[in-house]
Homo-oligomer: A and B are copies of this chain.
Amino acid sequence: MHAEPPVRSGRAKRLPRAVRERQIMDAAVDVFSRLGFHAASMDEISEVAGISKPMLYAYLGSKEELFATCIRREANRLMEAIADGVEADQPPDVQLWSGLRAFFGFVAGNRASWQVLHRQALTQGGPFARELVDLRGRAIDLVAALLVHSAEFPNVPRAGDREAESLAAALVGAGESLADWWLDHPDEPAGVVAARLMNLVWMGFGDLVAGNVWHPPSRRTAAP
């Protein structure tokens, strides 16, 4: 009935500030992702972090500042994961494929991060949505650059860049949404979800209903 290490009784162990800040941020992402910004209380975050409430305010400022800091940190981690995952010296479809795999891989390993980034940041207006818009902008730029290099868009000769950006926005949106849907269907493996989106956006329904499927260059057939 007692003697558990995680019990939060009495004074917490003294730790250097940087370490505590990390712990607090981790706890905050966890609580924000489960409860949402408004329903999450600083009391609960401090409890999960294993310290008292005044420490939150001493280290991370107000609730709003804490939330914004969480969003920024997670956004950077996500973009880093994608940038690391893309195989830049490959043909366009393989680049897209590797980017999608990196993206869904990150979400698989960091569901709380994605939850707080996508769902929570969106619903809180003001400066929070800004962070998300910025993240999305960076992702769109990445995809748009890929598309620009992969074709000339002969039918829209003067608007190649704008055209690419529109398509990139749609793709990024589809990725966000599919990841979101995935939160509610956690049984599916990341590769399957990524392959599904790859097929949809690269081949299109028109090809798929005709039996034409995209699959990665040197692996087994993709099974969406």
Contacts and interface: CB of A to CB of B under 8 A. Distances in A.
Main secondary structure of the interface of A (DSSP, over half): helix
Nearest to A119: B123
A33 to B, nearest CB: 10
A197 B180 contact: no
A129 B202 CA distance: 31
Given A38-B36, A38-B39, A150-B209, A166 B224 contact: yes
A191 to B, nearest CB: 14
Given A39-B38, A174-B173, A208 B119 contact: no
- Which of A38, A155, A206 counts the most chain B CB atoms within 10 A? A206
A196 B38 contact: no
Interface residues on A, range: 35 or more
Given A155-B213, A171-B200, A206 B207 contact: yes
Contact of A224 (B122, B167, B171, B176): B167
Contacts of A155: 211, 213
Interface string A135-159: 0100000000001001111110000
Contacts of A203: 204, 206
A202 B120 CA distance: 31
Contacts of A180: 122, 173, 177
A93 B154 CA distance: 23
Nearest to A155: B211
Contact of A176 (B96, B177, B207): B177
Given A201-B204, A204-B207, 15 more contacts: A34-B125, A38-B39, A92-B209, A120-B123, A122-B180, A133-B184, A147-B209, A155-B213, A166-B224, A167-B200, A170-B200, A171-B200, A174-B178, A202-B204, A204-B204
Interface of A: 34, 36, 38-39, 92-93, 96, 119-120, 122-125, 129, 133, 136, 147, 150-155, 163, 166-167, 169-171, 173-174, 176-178, 180-181, 184, 196-197, 200-211, 213-214, 224
